[in-house]
Amino acid sequence: MVNSLSVYQQAVMLMAALITLTSFLMLGQSRLLRLVGVFAVQGLLLSASTALVAYSMALPHLYISAALSLVIKGLLIPAMLFRLIMRMNLHREMDTVEHPARVMIGGASLVVFSYYVCLPIVQLSTLITLNTISVSLAVVLLGMLLMITRRHAVAQVVGFMSIENGLFFAAVVSTLGMPMVVELGIAFDVLVAAVIFGVFFFQIRSSIDSLDVDRLSQLSEVEE
């Protein structure tokens, strides 16, 4: 019951709910700058929730994970995306969603599905933070939905990074953190992926003068 939970355990669940809320906000954002801003907030919430789990479960090594999340996912990657959007003059572009009501209803259905799937796992476990494992699955599924419903390459990259946030949160709440070598490797891979995505953005923009992925299907081979 909620009354049997400590203040910090309730705070972890509150952070989990806020992380889910940021995934919904990203689904509804049409401007790229706002989308990246919400993604940065999600990274900060992920870092704060990791620190809360470290405090409530007395796991000091999770403080390092929280610091990595704060620097890489809350500050560095969003700053790189902001700079990329401004350099490519994309801050005025709109990435509208077709049938936004259906997309939001689909997102709510995915959250309900996540709670239904994870219910047996939660009932068989005595780990209190495992109650938020359904949030992790919901964030992953909402990130996939973001990638499916958006046409702009930047928005799809944000969806991909959001999926990684959900997987990281699952590792924190279900296994109480991964070995530090694994976490450092994943953090480095995510950072390298963000740099590679930036290079691809410039290449796509120089080729078709747009980052709308639907226009890639219009490309055809030209015989010399």
pLDDT tens digits, one per residue of 162-171: 888 888 888 7
Sign of the C-alpha dihedral, residues 34, 40, 42, 44? negative
Question: Which residue matches tokens 């599924």?
Answer: 141
Please name which of 31, 30, 36, 23 lies closest in space to residue 158, comparing C-alpha atoms.
36
Please give the distance of CA 89 from its chain centroid, rounded to a whole number: 24
Please name which of 177, 193, 179 lies closest in space to residue 66, comparing C-alpha atoms.
177
Q: Please tell me whether the overall predicted TM-score, pTM, comes out greater than 0.85 for this model.
A: no
pLDDT of residue 199: 61
pLDDT of residue 166: 87
DSSP 97: -
Mean pLDDT of all residues in 12-26:
87
pLDDT tens digits, one per residue of 108-142: 899 888 888 887 776 666 555 566 788 888 999 99
Mean pLDDT of all residues in 172-196:
65
Residue 52 pLDDT grade (very low, low, confident, very high; cuts 50, 70, 90): confident
pLDDT of residue 142: 92
